Amino acid sequence: MLMLVACAQSEAPPSPTRGYILISLDTLSAPHLGAYGNERDTSPFFDRLAERGTLFENAYVQYPSTLVSHVSMFTGLYPQEHGVYPPSSVLSPQIATLPEQFQRAGFRTAGFTEAGYVSRDFGFDRGFDEFLSSRDAGPRSAEQTFDHGLDFLRGVGPEDRFFLFLHTYAVHDPYVPPDEFDRIYWPGAAPEVTDSSGSFLRDVNMGRHQVPPETVAFYRAQYDAEIRYLDRALEGFVTELEALGLRDDVTLVITSDHGEEFQQHGKLAHSQVYPETLHVPLLVVVPGGRGGRRVPDLVQSIDLAPTLYELAGTDPGGEPSGASLVPLLRGEPDPAPRSHAYAEVFDQENQKTLIEATDAGPLQYLTALVLGEPGGTWATRRAALDTEAERLELQVVSFHAPRELTVEVDGETMTTVTVGTGWQPLALDLAAGPGRRRVVLSTAGCGVPMWLGLGGDTRCLSFKLQGAEIRRSELFDLERDPGSTVDVSADRPEALRRLAEALRRYRWDVRAEPGQQELSNETVENLKALGYLN
């Protein structure tokens, strides 16, 4: 089991402070920070700040999307428990939120966000005495958002207890850092394709466009440049916080709602449950606490609310599923260590994953199901499915025009067939013997029905299958392969079965049914700009 080695002498519990500040740096992936191993000098201030606090090395979100993840952060509940999913869900008033409970405990509360899903339209103003969300901040958004927070702190009385929430999209797509930081990690000429708008990235994921590797490398460089800018903005905020005399009065928590992917697993932005989207920074700075501690235990975003409740001595207003991290902040072994971190996402695929702590290091198990529709399941250039059958019988049809379909079994080409625009059978005799086999069907190119005048469907379609779910499972050894790039399912069948069974047990009933709202035109355009809506 991944465990924190206890200090020779445990520390006293952190004393309650006057203030609690929670900062959400939207879309910030932990491996892109120096403290988590990035070789680029993206975060010199964050790295220094980590020497004053407790850095959680293995913190994972439960859903790689802004709305769902922040609701889990504010409630301490798994996504299936609060039931709030894009594009228009709103948390039930029966479920208490972090700012509401601080407000009820007599704290002055303020929240400053950069809109999108973290806005009053989705109920994030609940519990705040003062709340502002705005997407008009421009490329220097973080500084303006932090300035709003500093204005609030300047108005806090010497006897007031307070809770402040700050949220910024400074490193979200499009990857356009302020001029001072533009191209600091890309000194040469820009590639031919540089569009990194949310709508374009989603088009790439949907198969409507393709980008060369040079463009993906450019995206990553500009994303890191945004982080370097954000790091300086964070330094300015903390410096002014200390100038206000609040250093010893504030517990500071810095984290993110999800990371970002750069085609490590074939896609851009954040629509899958691999480490690049789930592994986020988590830093807690408590006055008087021992600094420079690094905690290797598995922790989750749903642990934030119960941790803050215990630190402040406030009522959680319910029963969060997350667990307080206060024992780990004291330098003690966790009395109930988490054996798993869970995450899910519903996008082009229904993906669920467990990360398991073991004596030999963490494992990741992932299962993905392509969402079908009546009459079969469409694929965009490629479909991968797992089977234990010795013979797989399918029906297949090509979209719009005949296509060459290549069939691979466990990485070896088995056959190539021509698929027409009428349904035809495809029978595959697989090698005999126990165990799972990975079958991959692929073809070059796809077509968009809307662009071809064949309806309103905007997906890029290649072929359609009947007779089998397009479902796959994967297993990764994160100790040796932290990026989950090599599937070790064939070598670890017992671990695969154990984690598959464990994942099946991760089911919850919704605590209270969420509401639904009609999105305003402004909100729709805002979410389109962020790549969350087509």
Contact indicator for 347, 341 with CB cutoff of 8 Å: no
List of E strands, 334-381: 340-346, 349-356, 363-370, 377-379
Rounded CA separation 33/175 (Å): 16
Rounded CA separation 280/36 (Å): 10
pLDDT at position 523: 82
Q: Which CATH superfamily is domain 363-504 in?
A: Galactose-binding domain-like (2.60.120.260)
Helix, strand or coil for residue 122? Answer: helix
pLDDT at position 7: 41
Contact indicator for 475, 43 with CB cutoff of 8 Å: no
Contact indicator for 11, 196 with CB cutoff of 8 Å: no
Q: Return the structure tokens found at 448.
A: 């968009």
- pTM reported for the whole predicted model: 0.93
Contact indicator for 497, 473 with CB cutoff of 8 Å: no
pLDDT at position 432: 64
Contact indicator for 452, 461 with CB cutoff of 8 Å: no
- Span 160-191, pLDDT tens digits: 999 999 999 999 999 999 999 999 999 999 99
Rounded CA separation 279/273 (Å): 10
Beta-strand pair 437-442/382-387: antiparallel
Asked if the domains at 24-338+512-529 and 363-504 fall in one CATH topology, the answer is: no
Q: Where are the domains of the chain?
A: 24-338+512-529, 363-504
Q: Using only C-alpha atoms, what is the Rg of the chain? A: 24
Rounded CA separation 489/493 (Å): 6
Which segments of the chain have a pLDDT < 70?
A: 1-13, 136-139, 432-434
- Asked if the 24-338+512-529 domain carries CATH number 3.40.720.10, the reply is yes
pLDDT at position 8: 38
CA angle at residue 211 from 205 to 216, to 5 degrees?
95
pLDDT at position 9: 47
Q: How many CB atoms lie within 10 A of CB 209?
A: 14
pLDDT at position 35: 97
